[in-house]
Amino acid sequence: MKLLIISNLYAPHSRGGAERVAELQARGFEHAGHEVAVLTGGPNFGLRTNIQDGIKVYRFFPWNIFWYKNIGKYPFWVRAVWHLIDALNLQSLWILHRVLEQEKPDIIISHNLKGLGLQIFAALANRKDKWVHVLHDIQLSVPSGLMIWGEEDKWKNSVTRKWHESFCRGLVGSPRMIISPSRWLLDFYTNKGFFKESKTMVLPNPVDLPEEIQPEPGRRLRMLYAGQIEEHKGVLWLAEKIKKLTQNWELRIAGAGSKLDALKQIVQGDERIKVLGARPHSEMGAVFADSDILIVPSKCYENSPTVVYEGLAHGVPVLVARIGGAAELIEENKNGWTFEPGSDRELLDRLEQIIATPEILQNMRLACRDSMANYGLENYISQLLKVVQ
């Protein structure tokens, strides 16, 4: 079987988001004996083809103001113009047509298309019998993809959002199959009238299952935050609130973002909080394995964060905010815990209990890994093949 995977971002060994899932899908199908090609964006002009980890990858720079990955560097008005061009860009249709003629795929799997040109949706609608779309965020409803806890009403009656939703609903139509990693995200869209004729499936994202590594015994409790250093991720709030804990603990923060300097100011002088900065994917396995708890304090509505899968796969219990689909993989007191987003009292109460009873964490490590047993790449591809063939 020949497959074409389309994603706005694609990079082997990336850590999270749609690009990570697209990369795992490509690798999994290829290992299963299928022929795979990828269509994605890049910072260089022209359509270029190369082989990455045995996968044929087509890259092109959409006729837009800047590449999607650089969107955070520009002011609001520039981003607004960028979004308009992205919605109407016909160049991507010509690129897609060329690739489809070259590859002649049996199945087309699309991921986030923001930044490649949303008109690709319209072209794929003509091939809906071959088209499977994987959901990752709320960008078809909120252009930025960000909706913050407590600010839902800010977007509820927004004219921009209503226009954007109506435009995307008509553009996307009803692919043959919609796959969502979380029940929350699928319900979010279907309740808004998206994908009326599509078959739907909740299928959690695939994860690499690493070998088990036991952390050194007898040290103080080691907590981890891994992700973007941004306000909406809740990491600045976490760093400020966690300093109130008086027990023996340590928090390590791995990641990069626009708020890194602000974070360093918050933790300055507190030796219990260590800012590791960005870490390559090859090093993160050891960072996860040497942690006792992973904290995911998001203030924005998320689908099914990759970091939760990574933590559980490494045997690390996860304490996660109950927002969006972020907590759907968590079984209370079995492989982790949840708390109300933005509630410092609930967060600190939970952490105080955990720090006071470290013996429970050892038994939870095995339960965490067990909870990921069905999400390995081979099993994921097997389930996906059942619905796409």
Backbone angles phi, psi at 145, to 5 degrees: 80, 0
Backbone angles phi, psi at 39, to 5 degrees: -115, 125
Both tokens assigned to 1: 């079987």
- Over range 352-373, report the average pLDDT: 89
CA 287, CA 115: separation in Å to the nearest integer?
32
User: What local confidence, expressed as pLDDT, does residue 17 receive?
Assistant: 79
pTM of the model: 0.90
Angular region, 108: left φ>0, alpha ψ -120 to 50, beta rest: beta
Neighbours of 134 (CB within 10 A): 24
- Over range 4-13, report the average pLDDT: 85
DSSP classification of residue 135: -
Q: Which amino acid is at 87?
A: A
Residue pLDDT, tens place only, 47-99:
888 888 889 999 998 888 887 777 778 888 888 888 888 888 888 889 999 99
User: What local confidence, expressed as pLDDT, does residue 13 receive?
Assistant: 65
Residues 161/7/305/262 CA torsion (nearest 10 deg): -70
Q: In this prediction, what percent of the chain has a pLDDT beyond 90?
A: 57
In this structure, of 81-90, 147-156, 328-337, the range with the lowest mean pLDDT score is 147-156
Angular region, 257: left φ>0, alpha ψ -120 to 50, beta rest: left
What are the structural domains of the chain? 2-207+375-388 (3.40.50.2000), 221-371 (3.40.50.2000)
CA 81, CA 130: separation in Å to the nearest integer?
32
Q: In this prediction, what percent of the chain has a pLDDT beyond 70?
A: 96
Q: Categorize the per-residue pLDDT at 219 as very low, low, confident or very high, splitting at 50, 70 and 90.
A: low
DSSP string, 299-368: -B--S--HHHHHHHHTT--EEEE-STTTTTT--BTTTEEEE-TT-HHHHHHHHHHHHH-THHHHHHHHHH
In this structure, of 159-168, 251-260, 349-358, the range with the lowest mean pLDDT score is 159-168
CA 389, CA 233: separation in Å to the nearest integer?
38
Q: Categorize the per-residue pLDDT at 250 as very low, low, confident or very high, splitting at 50, 70 and 90.
A: very high
Question: How far from 114 is each of 46, 108, 110, 143, 200, CA to CA, in Å?
Answer: 19, 17, 11, 9, 21
Residue pLDDT, tens place only, 158-212:
777 888 889 889 989 899 999 999 999 999 999 999 999 999 999 999 988 887 6
For tokens 């690129």, what's the residue? 95
